[in-house]
Amino acid sequence: MKIMLTGASGLLGAEIAGRLKTCAKELSIDNIILHRQSDSPGFLSADMKTQEGLDLIADQDWDVIIHTAAEKDPDACEKDKYNADILNVTATKFLAEKAVERGAYFIYISTDYVFPGTNPPYDEDAEPAPINYYGSTKLRGEVKVLDASPSFCSLRVPILYGTAAGVEHSALLAGSVRMLLDSKEKMVDDTIVRYPTYTGDVADAVVLLLKKRGSGIYHCSGKDKSTKYQVCVDIAHVLGLSHAHIFPQENPPSSGARRPYDCHLNMKRLNELGFDPVMPLHDRLMSFRKELSKYLNTL
């Protein structure tokens, strides 16, 4: 297998890159091309918003593509719809067509934000109806991939956290640590329900899909229900820090892109393949104590 991993420097991409290297023998991987936008040793640098960048990726030798690169910030997508479309939809469509031409397998990373969040939990075949532009671009990207070939696959995930790319790349972890360290009083959202999902579990799901050649839509989600405020308090406990200056905000945020209320994803199809990660969120955060402390000391 020769794999093209787009977005390999990102929060999720770095985790998948590490896992593919560990599983290279088991999966008969001959080569992994690590792609990112910026120039960096060990990476194929290509800007997917340009035809030149897309052609560079298409010209490499690969028979599997794992497409994680995207604009993932809902506020940025809302502000610059054109750029969000070019990266999340147009580039995805191009890569899916190239994958069809060469008979390659495609894994697309999608989001729980394809759902409106009003009627959870959502099965893989539930009707998507995004309420913000980011969700709309990711859904359209997913449709392009699945329309290109019925053997391609889309893996939807909720808010991610992990340390493979460095704690600073994980907004949930780094943002919480920064808020705890800053003694200024702060209101933190306690209304929007989230299911923080460990990037290592998603990387395991990707490996399973590679092995089984999963097709269609899959969901991968953490099981523990939380909010931004609750995660912050949990991280305070893990690090032994005070959270006396952090207060739960009881009204949904009024600025930026609209966030769906609760997009809990059922992961029936991955469960059927025997996939069922069990570590609770708090235990996982405890396992990151060393990395979180190290990050804290850099601030």
Ligand X SMILES: NC(=O)c1ccc[n+]([C@@H]2O[C@H](COP(=O)([O-])OP(=O)(O)OC[C@H]3O[C@@H](n4cnc5c(N)ncnc54)[C@H](OP(=O)(O)O)[C@@H]3O)[C@@H](O)[C@H]2O)c1
> In angstroms, what is the minimal distance from the CB of 11 to ligand X?
4
Q: Which of 17, 48, 217, 233 binds ligand X (CB under 6 A)?
A: 48
> In angstroms, what is the minimal distance from the CB of 23 to ligand X?
19
| Cβ closest to ligand X, residue 111 vs residue 230 | 111
| Cβ closest to ligand X, residue 155 vs residue 179 | 155
State which of positions 6-45 bind ligand X (CB under 6 A).
Answer: 7-13, 36-38
Contact indicator for 138, 111 with CB cutoff of 8 Å? yes
Query: Of 31, 221, 12, 193, whose CA–CA distance to 109 is shortest?
Result: 12
Q: Can residue 257 be called a binding residue for ligand X (CB under 6 A)?
A: no
Contact indicator for 213, 152 with CB cutoff of 8 Å? no
* C-alpha pair distances (Å), 23 with each of 36, 128, 129: 21, 33, 36
State which of positions 88-147 bind ligand X (CB under 6 A).
Answer: 109, 111, 138
| Cβ closest to ligand X, residue 195 vs residue 229 | 195
| Cβ closest to ligand X, residue 134 vs residue 229 | 134
CA-CA-CA-CA torsion for 226, 174, 156, 164, nearest 10 degrees? -130
Q: Which of 169, 219, 258, 269 binds ligand X (CB under 6 A)?
A: 169
Record the tokens describing residue 135, joined without a space.
């969700």
| Span of 99-107, 144-152, 158-166, 175-183 interacting with ligand X by CB under 6 A | 158-166
State which of positions 51-90 bind ligand X (CB under 6 A).
Answer: 68-70, 72, 87
Size of the site for ligand X (CB under 6 A): 26
Q: Can residue 159 be called a binding residue for ligand X (CB under 6 A)?
A: yes
> In angstroms, what is the minimal distance from the CB of 94 to ligand X?
12
Cis check: omega of the bond before 121, within 30 degrees of 0: yes
| Cβ closest to ligand X, residue 83 vs residue 241 | 83
Edge to edge, the sheet with strand 31-36 lists 44-45, 31-36, 2-6, 64-67, 105-111, 153-157, 216-219
Q: Can residue 49 be called a binding residue for ligand X (CB under 6 A)?
A: yes
State which of positions 171-210 bind ligand X (CB under 6 A).
Answer: none
Burial label for 298, CB within 10 Å (0-12, 13-18, 19+), is exposed
Record the tokens describing residue 209, joined without a space.
């899909």
* C-alpha pair distances (Å), 121 with each of 58, 232, 263: 37, 24, 7
Q: Which residues bind ligand X (CB under 6 A)?
A: 7-13, 36-38, 47-49, 68-70, 72, 87, 109, 111, 138, 157-160, 169
